[in-house]
């Protein structure tokens, strides 16, 4: 038999309390806050290199990975700040138009729904892990809210733990491989620079030696000419 227990009170309490943030911020700020983050990531992931190339001359950046990282951060923050100011302007207009109360009520509903969705995703993900499933059923199996959390979370993500594990492993391998490539590239560039430096020094030394030899030959020839002239003068 389902009953309203401690788990339900905790979920409902946290949802309402954090939903109050939406009441104070308003619907427009709540929605555009999410748009700013998600949109910022979307924009930054696609234009990080272009933005980084604009900043690179100012910060004297040369490493491509560093340029992309700086470009990503700047693009993300820039887009978020832009959306934030748009949200401020729209909220001000809404307050002046007399729709401020509606904006805040919708903000509370949206904020509460957002928190509930987050709880749903977390609950569903944990419920797919067999080692947690039996414990969860034992502790909150009779909860009123837990079945709704599972249903909503499953509808949102349809989590396949095997696929997620493979994606995580693939992501880790990708990061490791990129790190290796960066290290190898740095080593190759360093070795190439050292080889070029050594080659230039050898060429410089060889040129200097050749100049010294030519100078000695020239001096020897001049001495021979002088000696020949001296002998001719003596004969005369």
Lookup: tokens for 228: 């020949």
**Per-residue confidence (pLDDT) for residue 161, from 0 to 100:** 47
Amino acid 167: pLDDT = 56
Residue 134 confidence (pLDDT):
78
Q: How is the chain split into domains, by residue range?
A: 6-159, 161-236
Among 118, 100, 106, 82, residue whose Cα is nearest residue 30? 106
Residues 6+ apart with CB under 8 A from 126: 132, 136
Residue 114, both tokens:
């957002």
What tokens does 232 get? 């001719």
pLDDT of residue 2: 60
Helix (H) or strand (E) holding 87: helix 64-96
Mean pLDDT (10-residue bins), the chain, 236 residues: 74 84 78 78 83 82 80 87 86 77 83 82 78 77 80 70 54 65 75 77 75 75 68 64
């Amino acid at each position: 038999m389902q009953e309203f227990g401690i788990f339900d009170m905790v979920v409902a309490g946290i949802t309402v309390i954090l939903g109050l943030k939406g009441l104070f911020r308003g619907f427009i700020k709540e929605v555009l806050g999410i748009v700013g983050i998600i949109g910022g990531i979307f924009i930054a992931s696609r234009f990080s290199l272009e933005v980084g190339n604009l900043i690179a001359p100012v910060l004297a950046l040369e490493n491509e990975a560093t340029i992309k990282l700086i470009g990503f951060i700047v693009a993300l923050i820039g887009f978020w700040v832009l959306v934030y100011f748009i949200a401020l302007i729209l909220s001000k207009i809404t307050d002046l138009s007399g729709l401020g109360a509606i904006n805040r009520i919708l903000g509370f509903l949206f904020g509460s729904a957002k928190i509930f969705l987050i709880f749903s995703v977390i609950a569903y993900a944990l419920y797919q892990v067999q080692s947690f499933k039996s414990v969860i059923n034992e502790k909150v199996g009779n909860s009123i809210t837990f079945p709704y959390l599972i249903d909503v979370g499953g509808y949102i993500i349809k989590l396949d733990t095997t696929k997620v594990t493979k994606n995580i492993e693939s992501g880790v391998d990708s990061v490791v491989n990129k790190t290796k490539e960066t290290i190898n590239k740095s080593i190759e560039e360093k070795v190439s620079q050292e080889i070029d430096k050594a080659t230039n020094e050898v060429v410089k030394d060889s040129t200097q030696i050749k100049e010294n030899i030519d100078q000695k030959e020239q001096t020897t020839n001049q001495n021979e000419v002088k000696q020949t002239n001296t002998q001719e003068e003596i004969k005369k």
